[in-house]
Chain A
């Protein structure tokens, strides 16, 4: 069966506009595959190349070499994003819109028939528990509410693949728990979830498999339990070891 996400020998380079500055290589020869229904954790310290990889998957940055496919479609084709839901790390939405307007707008983008839009909007607002604030502009929302509105927009098209960039970043413990519950629910529904996170405990709880990236290179990939057993250490210790961090005694 074809992988939901297939990345082969991906290389991402950023050319500097300033003379004399070398080209920065963000991702070097990354290959990985995520199967349908998997919750896949994408780990790495800051600057490891996680966001660059996600940017390629979302079509924001073209690969310098190699390829990336979603549902078998090259990520450079806009149609590849028809079955994707994306939640950015920060709440990058039109704050002058209400949650309801934002969701109707995205539903329109996904060509959801007008007759079905209302029901779909109600459904996702209920899922993220924002029904009570649906008529309020997003700028009046708390950080946690904005993040949940973001999750709602990521789910509006009932996606088969969710790409979440640090979904619990900046949330309080209750907010984190709610997001985690939603991911768990999506997993139970058979959705594929590809997410980056710094919260190793959360990754351990939610993910089926993880990939650890460091300086643009894939250091490890596999089931959380296998990695833990293989290194005879907790996921945090495995992570620190693979990224070359040695704590002072």
Chain B
């Protein structure tokens, strides 16, 4: 575990020291701040729409951040050959991948914490209330969902050589699942065979990322989700992340490094 943590720490340090990380970060904060401070027609209900826009922005930024940061990890290690002195140490390829996963997930988690905190401050200043537990649940489920995204992007970075193609594929897949995932079974019913079975089967196989999208909890100040359900959702995400990581380790162990 020490090895995995040491590797994760370096990934976090790298992200903190990279300038492109801050560009997205500052852009999101600026847009959130600006949207949050707009006061259209003195209408209080407009705050809800603004919250929706801000949260969408946070979701998009976090997805871009998670995918781009993860997609470049392995290809960059190979291109800059930093993987060689590292794997010449008593580090297994599995530990290496777990370290990368943990580092990317933690770094994205840190960014999420700042995003949600800042967003919470802005909306609390407009609404005169801050339902902290709603924010905690929404942010936690968001972060857990990103764990699945980071894991499959890591798998993609071993399968696809170019980080750009991997990044694009992972982004399209993630957004596709978020938008269409819950409707796949209904769409399948209208298709001829064998597409119907194929699409219906994929409905049960894909990780349903849309389950973690509980933005309405913050937008409409809904009742809290039972904590047991949050725990189950966390287990669901952990299972998918584990499957993707195991697949990544299995593929990576067979790849010669030279």
- Please list the residues of chain A having a beta carbon within 8 angstroms of any beta carbon in chain B: 14, 51-52, 55, 58-62, 78-79, 81-82, 84, 86-88, 90, 92-94, 96-97, 101, 105-106, 108-111, 150, 153-154, 157, 163
Contact = CB atoms under 8 A, between A and B. Distances in A.
B17 interface: yes
Interface in B1-28: 2-3, 5-7, 9-10, 13-14, 17-18
B85 A153 contact: yes
Contacts of B85: 86-88, 92-93, 150, 153-154
Nearest to A77: B90
Contacts of B128: none
A78 B91 contact: yes
Most B CB contacts (10 A, CB to CB) among A52, A97, A109 go to A109
Interface residues of B, number: 27
B89 interface: yes
Contact of A61 (B5, B90, B256): B256
A96 B13 contact: yes
Most buried by B among A82, A94, A101, A154: A94
Contact of A105 (B9, B92, B257): B9
Secondary structure class of chain A's binding surface, majority of residues: mixed
Interface string B22-53: 00000000000000000000000000000000
B211 interface: no
Nearest to B9: A105
A24 B86 CA distance: 27
Nearest to B91: A109
A139 to B, nearest CB: 10
A67 B155 CA distance: 31
B258 A61 contact: yes
A117 to B, nearest CB: 11
Given A60-B257, A92-B84, A150-B85, A108 B6 contact: yes
Contact of A81 (B9, B80, B90): B90
A109 B91 CA distance: 7
B173 interface: no
B87 interface: yes
A232 to B, nearest CB: 39
A96 B14 contact: yes
A81 B80 CA distance: 22
A239 B7 CA distance: 42
B1 to A, nearest CB: 10
A82 B90 contact: yes
A87 B28 CA distance: 42
Contacts of B5: 108
Interface string B76-90: 000011111111111
Nearest to A96: B17
Give the 4 A-B residue pairs with the shortest CB-CB distance, closest first.
Answer: A108-B6, A86-B88, A92-B81, A60-B257
Given A93-B82, A96-B14, A97-B10, A109 B258 contact: no
Query: In this complex, which of B5, B6, B13, B80 has the most chain A Cβ atoms within 10 angstroms of its Cβ?
Result: B6
B219 to A, nearest CB: 39
Given A61-B258, A92-B85, A108-B9, 17 more contacts: A14-B256, A55-B257, A58-B88, A59-B87, A60-B88, A60-B258, A79-B90, A81-B89, A84-B89, A90-B81, A92-B80, A92-B82, A93-B85, A96-B17, A106-B89, A109-B2, A109-B86
Nearest to B15: A96
A94 B82 CA distance: 7
A84 B88 contact: yes
